[in-house]
Amino acid sequence: MLNVKNLSFSYSKSAVLKAISFNAKPGEYVAIIGESGSGKSTLLKLLYGTYDLNEGDIFWKNNPILGPKYNLVVGYDFMKYVAQEFDLMPFITVAENIGKFLSRFYPEEKEQRTAELLEVVELTPFANIKVKTLSGGQKQRVALARALAKQPEIILLDEPFSHIDNFQKQSLRRRIFNYLKEKNITCIVATHDKEDVLGFADRMIVLNDNEIAVNNSPKTLYKNPKTPLIAAFFGEFNFINGIIVYAHQLKVVDDSNIKVSVKQSYFKGHYYLVESNFKGETIFFQHHLELHEGHTVNLKIVK
């Protein structure tokens, strides 16, 4: 189990993280979200032992995670960290990068393990291609595979799919997160993308004002967003009569006390996101038809 107790850290006099405490069980996936500058990446680096803590403790099982004051070489064999900078070896092949740290004394096992991971990150056709010729998204997948090569007990991922094309992200997410569950690898992911969280994460930690604002399941937070920060992570939302209402929770009806004037419609595929005016405030709602500027409709909250 990962056990973080009262962690505090600052780069100078300004606090980056204050009194951070949480646990993560073996095989559990915990997503870390927050605005830019909230400390998501810094938290991952602290978990990896990149920096020394100002206060607090970090343990993986019975092993304390210590910073550079105590370790000449940052990191631990049971933990892998994939940053937004990939640190790959550009002049050798994809397969060689993945298998670099696997034992050469067992060549058949090394080849089999490399082939397995190439399939997980959907790079089998690129096995013998030099890394320097790859796109940013392909390099990111190589970095993910290399981190998994020695099957760590815990993996830290910082925006793991940020460089990957949208048409590849969904299948890759499923492969990666299903693989981690199957192998019982604890996963801590810093992300700004709800698609990295919904359907995969067991828990979601929201950082705000240098602290943990909330720690709960994505389903609970999605259904009961307590703050605009949480609601905004999941999609377009509105404040109506003091409550948070998602755009999809507003339905056009024949009559109601929420009468709005349409400003613009945005095509979103199977629906339109409609921007409207309600008593001087902007309201967003979803509708199956395009509505034109000046059109007046009545809305009902349906939760």
CATH of the domain at 271: 2.40.50.140
Residue 247 sits in the same domain as residue 210? no
Residue 118 sits in the same domain as residue 34? yes
Give yes or no for a contact between 172 and 141, defined as CB atoms under 8 angstroms apart. yes
Determine the structural domain holding residue 149 and report its residue range: 2-223
pTM: 0.90
Position 31 scores a pLDDT of 97
The 10s digit of each residue's pLDDT in 223-257 is 999 899 999 999 999 999 889 999 999 999 999 99
**Chosen domain end from 223, 245, 268:** 223
**Chosen domain end from 181, 197, 223:** 223
> Can you list the residues of the chain whose pLDDT is less than 70?
none
| Distant-in-sequence, close-in-space partners of 78: CB < 8 Å, separation ≥ 6 | 60, 63, 152, 153, 154
Instruction: Of 139, 148, 57, 157, give the one whose Cα is nearest residue 102.
Output: 148
What's the CA gap between 17 and 56, in Å, rounded? 11
Residue 209 sits in the same domain as residue 282? no
**Domain-embedded: residue 229:** no
Q: Collapsing DSSP states into helix, strand and coil, what is residue 253? A: strand
Question: What's the CATH code of the domain at 107?
Answer: 3.40.50.300
Give yes or no for a contact between 197 and 230, defined as CB atoms under 8 angstroms apart. no
Residue 9 sits in the same domain as residue 140? yes
Position 37 scores a pLDDT of 87
What's the CA gap between 40 and 197, in Å, rounded? 15
How many domains does the chain divide into? 2
Measured from the Cβ of residue 122, the count of other Cβ atoms closer than 10 Å reads 17
Indicate the residue type of 243.
I
Position 110 scores a pLDDT of 87
Residue 197 sits in the same domain as residue 262? no
Residue 96 sits in the same domain as residue 211? yes
Residue 260 sits in the same domain as residue 292? yes
The 10s digit of each residue's pLDDT in 57-94 is 999 998 999 999 988 888 899 999 998 877 888 899 99
- b/e for 47-69, b at 16 or more Cβ within 10 A? bbbebebeebebebeeeebebee
CA distances from 97 to 128, 144, 266 (A): 10, 11, 44
Residue 278 sits in the same domain as residue 213? no
Output DSSP code: residue 7.
Answer: E
Residue 253 sits in the same domain as residue 278? yes
What's the CA gap between 295 and 297, in Å, rounded? 7
